[in-house]
């Protein structure tokens, strides 16, 4: 991808019980259909006796690939609600499989839609969401007397420190949002009276936690 985007923090699981039926939501991050199908197969293999394994996933910068399955539930009552939650939370390269163990009480179409939607929402919330932000790595080399001043600035401005190497000087590798590279370098130049060297590194994605609110469900 060439833009920042939201996705699942890490693979996780959350369970709800609704009218004696168990709904187990497995959420994860995938980047290809092969990974998505492997994720689904893994859940099915873990829960082979479940009544249903319903799922949905979105892939691509613009969600070019969207797939969903009701897996035997009435049409439109499981896969689409799962997919809707993923899209409503603006998640990309994400998958959810909701495994159901039928508890003997029928929920009706509306009840199933709410159940699969809630299972997905709580699964996403419990597991967590991150924003993958494209950032430029910068390696700043300073003398020991100036290091504390630099470290304080980085902490105060919540700039991610990726590595610190101590030799005859201190080399601090940081990650800076692409649109803030120039202003950050200028600020550090003023802070240290230009008594440092900087080496630009590659652009890479770094994860920033994102809080999911109930209104996004």
User: Could you tell me which of 163, 159, 170 has the C-alpha nearest to residue 196?
Assistant: 170
Calpha distance 85→154 (Å, rounded):
36
CA-only gyration radius of the chain, Å: 23
Q: Domain spans of the chain? A: 5-127, 132-210
pTM: 0.78
Fold of 132-210: Alpha-Beta Plaits (3.30.70)
CATH for 5-127 (3.40.50.620, 3.90.650.10, 3.60.15.10, 3.30.230.30): 3.30.230.30
Q: What is the pLDDT of residues 51-68, one digit of tens each?
A: 999 999 999 988 999 999
Residue-wise over 177-199: b if at least 16 C-beta within 10 A, else e?
Answer: beeebeebbeebeeebeeebeee
Q: What is the pLDDT of residues 155-200, one digit of tens each?
A: 999 999 999 999 999 999 999 999 899 999 999 999 999 999 999 9
């Amino acid at each position: 991808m060439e833009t920042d985007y939201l996705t699942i923090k890490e693979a996780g699981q959350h369970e709800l019980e609704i009218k004696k039926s168990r709904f187990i939501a497995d959420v994860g991050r995938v980047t290809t259909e092969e990974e998505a199908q492997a994720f689904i197969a893994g859940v099915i293999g873990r829960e082979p006796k479940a009544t249903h394994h319903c799922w949905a996933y979105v892939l691509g910068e613009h969600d070019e690939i969207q797939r969903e399955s009701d897996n035997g539930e009435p049409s439109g009552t499981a896969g689409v609600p799962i997919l809707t939650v993923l899209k409503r939370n603006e998640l990309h390269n994400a998958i959810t499989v909701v495994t159901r163990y039928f508890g003997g009480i029928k929920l009706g179409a509306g009840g199933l839609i709410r159940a699969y939607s809630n299972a997905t929402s709580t699964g996403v919330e419990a597991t967590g969401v991150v924003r993958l932000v494209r950032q430029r790595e910068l390696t700043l080399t300073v003398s020991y007397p100036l290091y504390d001043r630099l470290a304080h600035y980085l902490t105060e401005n919540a700039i991610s420190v990726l590595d610190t190497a101590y030799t005859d000087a201190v080399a601090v590798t940081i990650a800076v949002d692409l649109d803030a590279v120039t202003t950050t370098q200028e600020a550090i130049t003023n802070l240290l009276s230009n008594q440092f060297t900087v080496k630009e590194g590659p652009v890479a994605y770094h994860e920033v936690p994102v809080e999911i609110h109930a209104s996004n469900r």
